[in-house]
Amino acid sequence: MRTVLMAAAILGVPMSALAAEVPATSKIDAVTVFPLGAEVTRTAKVKLVPGEHAIVLTDLPPAANPASIRVEGRATDKLEIGSVDSRILSIPRTDATLVATERKKIEAEIETLRDAKTVLNAQVQTAESQKALITNLIALPTRPAPAGGAAAQPENWSQLLALIGTSTSDVHKVILETQIKMREVDRKITDLQKKLGETAPVLDQKLEVKVFANAGAALDADLIIRYQVTQASWQPQYDARLTTGSKAVAPKLALTRRAMISQRTGEAWVNVALTLSTARPSASSVAPSLTPLTVDFEPERPVPVAAAPVASGARNPARRGDAETSDEQKSYQGKAVSLAKISEVPATIEASPFQALYILPGQLTVPATNEPKRVVIDTADLDPTLVVRATPKVEATAYLYARMTLPKTQPYLPGQVALFRDQTFVGNGRLPLLTPGAEHELGFGADDAVRIKHAAIDEKRSETGIISSSRNDARNFRITMTNKHERPIAITILDQLPVSNNAEIKVEMTAKPTPTKRDVDDKRGVLAWEDTLKADEEKTIEFGYKIAWPAAKQITYGR
């Protein structure tokens, strides 16, 4: 009878320090990747005899969060887990014997070179002695005559000078050649010392996990070890493929959601079951708190009192206080084989009120090199509404937008979206965080079948009043829109009205027709005209404004 292991069910029962250690090998079975971080699931099989055991796992990465380690599983008989301990181990990466042999060889070479340097140094010292002797010979002509007035034996100065010249040249040559050899020996010693440092044993870090368990009988157990790592993530990417349709065919939008998965946890995920989650376990778990905010009158500053002179050498309390205040301030400032269509297999989606899980099909491999792996999650087939939008004041170009309503199943995380219009790539956009069922618009480039013209009709500046009490600035524009599509198209024209920041500056608007929206997207003064143009229809917008202000003052246009 297989029973579920009871992890931490008997934490109060101590395990013997002499529990038999049972080494176990685990492998990665599944990984759940979050937008930041991942939960890794490993499995291990062990055989146990009755009694207390310490099951030892040494193949976990050092990047695993020890606080997140959980052990559970199933066994063929009763197995109780008392505690789970973990520690970081440093394990030599290469064979220690080979390293020791190589080090001894290098050390012997260094010792031989040092002996050779000693011999060369002795040669230099000998040559220096010879050099001193030659120097003494040079001083012979200046030595005093023998005592007692005896006649000095005449010197053969020509032979002596020849000897001195030859000997001096030979000695200098010996010293120079020996010093060159010594420098070469020093370079070899430096290179060998560097090599010696590189042959030091390289240590790999591993996380050792000991599972203290008590087996009631001989049994087989399948352990499941879960832990979290932070050096992993997935980011959403999207393909938006718009088919604009025709007069008789409605437009369609296929929104494909993909994921870019990467990790550098120190262990490769080879042929594992991958699940993507929208949960963020590494984010804050509580809302930020606020501290009281008070307001009061500024305290009155005391009248400064002149300080008495301080005697030389005495401690100045005022300076001490200034220093303390300064310190306090510093501390504060811190290819295809048939005609069948090739398709991508989507993920299975499990949605809950607080997260969405995307269970990817098959088994996947993600290397620990931080290279991104691209997978498809799902594709939503939407029925968009096409809208043309233009800001003729800035650019007389109409742009095509697709207004869509997202599925009501799960949120769409922020990410880059590749835009395709009728199978042609037109650029990149970006999706913000969108809740289930939200409405959003995506731009798909210029629409050359809709023509926009913007013209200034007149601009007048004048003064009114008998004594020119006020000045006026009036400007009028005409916007022309023409639809050359074979079907009607919704169009939105955007423009703006100056906004007064002073009660003495009056702004009046004239518009025909009147704008359908004002302060679009909560932007003051931004106006929108929404309309529908039939095939080959042309419409105009007459728009203008008049600004009046006191004649004694000047106005300026700003943003």
Amino acid 440: pLDDT: 95
- How far is Cα 403 from Cα 400, in angstroms, rounded to an integer? 10
380 shares its domain with 269: yes
Q: Is residue 325 part of a domain?
A: no
First to last CA, the chain: 77
Q: CATH code at 541? A: 2.60.40
Q: Is residue 82 part of a domain?
A: yes
Amino acid 227: pLDDT: 94
405 shares its domain with 484: no
259 shares its domain with 359: yes
Amino acid 320: pLDDT: 41
Which of 92-101, 159-168, 440-449 is least confident? Answer: 159-168
What does the CA dihedral 12, 17, 21, 26 come to, rounded to 10 degrees? 40
CB atoms within 10 A of CB 143: 10
Q: Above 60 in pLDDT, residue 338?
A: no
Q: Is residue 154 part of a domain?
A: no
Which of 42-51, 146-155, 549-558 is least confident? Answer: 146-155
Q: Above 80 in pLDDT, residue 53?
A: yes
- How far is Cα 461 from Cα 472, in angstroms, rounded to an integer? 5
Mean pLDDT of 345-368: 83
Q: Which residue has the tokens 């205040």?
A: 325
Task: Check if the beta carbon of residue 79 is closer than 8 Å to that of residue 5.
Answer: yes
30 shares its domain with 120: no
Q: Pairing between strand 364-366 and 356-359?
A: unpaired
Q: Which two tokens stand for residue 176?
A: 């120079």
Q: How confident is the model at residue 56 (pLDDT cuts 50, 70, 90)?
A: very high
Q: Which residue has the tokens 């529908």?
A: 532
Look at the chain and report how many structural domains it folds into. Answer: 4
433 shares its domain with 375: yes
pTM: 0.65
Q: Is residue 156 part of a domain?
A: no
Which domain covers residue 434, as residue numbers?
Answer: 233-280+346-446
367 shares its domain with 276: yes
- How far is Cα 310 from Cα 317, in angstroms, rounded to an integer? 9
* Type of residue at 260: M
Q: Is residue 336 part of a domain?
A: no
Amino acid 162: pLDDT: 60
* Type of residue at 237: Q
275 shares its domain with 366: yes
Mean pLDDT of 470-498: 93
Q: How confident is the model at residue 410 (pLDDT cuts 50, 70, 90)?
A: confident
Angle (nearest 5°) at CA 443 between 438 and 444: 130
H helical segments located in 12-156: 96-138
168 shares its domain with 80: no
110 shares its domain with 183: yes
Q: Is residue 323 part of a domain?
A: no
Q: Choose one of 382, 416, 446: the last residue of a domain.
A: 446
Q: Is residue 303 part of a domain?
A: no
- How far is Cα 367 from Cα 287, in angstroms, rounded to an integer? 36
173 shares its domain with 214: no
Closest to 477 measured CA to CA, from 521, 527, 550? 527
Q: Above 70 in pLDDT, residue 430?
A: yes
Amino acid 290: pLDDT: 84
392 shares its domain with 520: no
- How far is Cα 272 from Cα 265, in angstroms, rounded to an integer? 15
Q: Choose one of 188, 212, 230: the last residue of a domain.
A: 230
Task: Check if the beta carbon of residue 265 is closer than 8 Å to that of residue 38.
Answer: yes
Angle (nearest 5°) at CA 474 between 471 and 477: 170
Closest to 26 measured CA to CA, from 74, 58, 48? 58
Q: Choose one of 411, 446, 481: the last residue of a domain.
A: 446
Query: Cis omega before residue 309 (within 30°)?
Result: no
138 shares its domain with 262: no
- Percent of the chain past pLDDT 70, that is, above it, reads 79
Q: Is residue 302 part of a domain?
A: no
Q: Above 90 in pLDDT, residue 284?
A: no
pLDDT tens sequence across 301-310: 776 665 554 4
- Percent of the chain past pLDDT 90, that is, above it, reads 49
